[in-house]
Structure formats: C-alpha cells, structure tokens
C-alpha cells in the first residue's frame, strides 16, 4: 500500500516563503507530484520529481529525497492568490502500473496580509 503525510494547514504572510512537507511510504516509488487546488476548483499540476533534487518553476520549487521518503514544495514571494490547498501525490509508473497516483489529504495554505 501507499500512504502520504502532509500538514493539514499552514499560514504565512504575503511576500514570505513557505515550505509544505510530504513524507510517504510506498511499496514501489516512481515520483512525487504536487498539485494546487483553489476552493471550488479543479486540481492543477505544479511539478513532478522523478529523481532526487530540486526542480524550480518560477516562484515554486519542489524537492525530493528518495532515501528519506520525503519531499517538499517551496513557495516564494507569497501572494494572496496562492491561498489554496496543495496536494502531494506518489506514483507515475508508465511501464505497466497504469500510471496511477496516490494523493495525500492536502495542506490548506492561508496567505495573510
């Protein structure tokens, strides 16, 4: 089976940096993904780490350490529009596993003035 843990809620100030952690336990690991979901909206894909290290996309960065079964999403220069839920997900086997993802329960990020 697979399980993921992430904080349920994080609060930060506009302009600050926030890190959302994700630890996982899986029977087989292929990669760690991050998704953003605003209230009432659909999840949108942010990043995917298939290998250890840091991936940067604009104000967002994602990190993976496979030896520690751990990853994080880093959001810089926080804006009010970043207030949303953030989900980590593991999976992504294209070789026969159906490319399935298992999602965490999400972290509600609140950005305050």
Q: Which residues bind another protein (CB under 8 A)?
A: 30-33, 35, 41-45, 47-50, 87, 89, 91-94, 98-106
Q: Is 38 helix (H, G, I), strand (E, B) or coil?
A: coil
Give whichever of 71 and 82 is closer to another protein, judged by the CB atom: 71
Pairing of strands 70-75, 18-25: antiparallel
In the complex with another protein, the residue whose CB is nearer, 15 or 41, is 41
- What number of CA atoms fall less than 13 Å from residue 107's CA on the CB side? 26
DSSP for residue 8? S
Q: How far is the CB of 15 from another protein (least distance, A)?
A: 29
Provide, rounded to whole angstroms, the least separation between the CB of residue 55 and another protein: 11
* Contact yes or no for 31/90 (Cβ under 8 A): yes
> C-beta of 2: minimal distance to another protein in Å?
10
């Amino acid at each position: 089976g697979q399980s993921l843990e992430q904080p349920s809620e994080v609060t930060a100030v506009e302009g600050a940096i926030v890190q959302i952690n994700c630890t996982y336990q899986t029977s087989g690991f292929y990669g760690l993904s991050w998704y953003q979901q605003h209230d009432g909206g659909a999840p949108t894909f942010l990043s995917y780490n298939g290998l250890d290290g840091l991936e940067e996309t604009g104000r967002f960065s994602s990190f993976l350490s496979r030896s520690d079964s751990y990853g994080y999403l880093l959001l810089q220069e926080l804006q009010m529009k970043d207030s949303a839920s953030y989900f980590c997900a593991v999976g992504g086997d294209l070789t026969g596993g159906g490319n399935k993802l298992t999602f965490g329960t999400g972290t509600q990020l609140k950005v305050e003035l």
